[in-house]
Amino acid sequence: MSDQNNYLKRTLAEIVNEDLRTADVFKKFGMDFCCGGGRSLEAACAKEGLDPEEVLMALQRLQQQEEKPDDSDFKDWPLDKLVNYIVEKHHAYLEEALPMIEEYAAKVSKVHGPSHKEVLEVHDLFMALAWELRVHLKKEENILFPYLVHLAKAERGEEAWQAPTFGQAGNPIRQMLHEHDTAGDVLKKLRAITRGFYPPEYACNTWRAYYRKLEELEGDLFLHIHLENNLLFPKAVELEAKMQGA
């Protein structure tokens, strides 16, 4: 990070792609590196009213730690390996976490909702998000992802490339991006209503666990969406263009 001016011009997505650990830094500062990953570090700081020097110092401290693990270098992974990782890591997480959070949401709303309006707002927002995420995952797993795996195999000569029934990868990808933006907006509302997922001092253990799981969900979705928006989808469009021109 010797040339700070040039580093400030780099996008959040580029920085996270190089070192996934930087995602934790951006999350700490409330910077959107997934749906808003196309912003430069400088522009993102300005949007959030942050001191760029403070953010740069946090990133500098990170670089002085141990080198990032090799298995986080997702940008060099083939499409099918990246798809499998997203399904096995992030889709599997959602399948396990959503029912658990739904149970917390129901209990906390029933007990505390009558006297805490924000709890009811959080419940409604989360339940809508959970439903949308389940539909979204099925679209990816049943429509888009099988084609992306096919693309990877076709590039390696394991299969003959065939155009998808939906025309081209960009068609479902545009819909996925839109749904990612919608999910990102809901996460922002949840964080705002819960004051950073911080329950009242008198909150019961279930309420505290509920907000902890919501914050965990936010963190996982940020990484999940980053991998798709800023790595998987661009790689897919590029590879498809290559196969079409072959």
Total structural domains within the chain: 2
- Lookup: tokens for 85: 């990782």
Out of 41, 72, 103, a domain closes at 72
The parent domain of residue 104 ranges over 74-245
Phi and psi angles of residue 130, each rounded to the nearest 5 degrees, phi first = -60, -45
Out of 72, 95, 130, a domain closes at 72
Beta carbons of 15 and 41 less than 8 angstroms apart: yes
* Residue 65 and residue 167 in one domain: no
Q: Which long-range contacts (CB under 8 A, 24 or more apart) does 6-10 make?
A: 7/41, 7/56, 8/40, 8/41, 8/42, 8/45, 8/52, 8/56, 9/40, 9/41, 9/42, 10/40, 10/41
* Residue 137 and residue 163 in one domain: yes
Name the 3-class secondary structure at 11: strand
Tens digit of each residue's pLDDT (9 = 90 or more) over 43-102: 989 988 989 999 998 888 877 775 555 445 788 899 999 999 999 999 999 999 999 999
Query: Per-residue confidence at 241, pLDDT binned at 50, 70, 90?
Result: very high
Phi and psi angles of residue 11, each rounded to the nearest 5 degrees, phi first = -80, 155
DSSP string, 17-36: HH-TTHHHHHHHTT---STT
pTM: 0.83
Tens digit of each residue's pLDDT (9 = 90 or more) over 91-128: 999 999 999 999 999 999 999 989 999 999 999 999 99
Helices (H) and strands (E) in the chain, counts: 12, 0
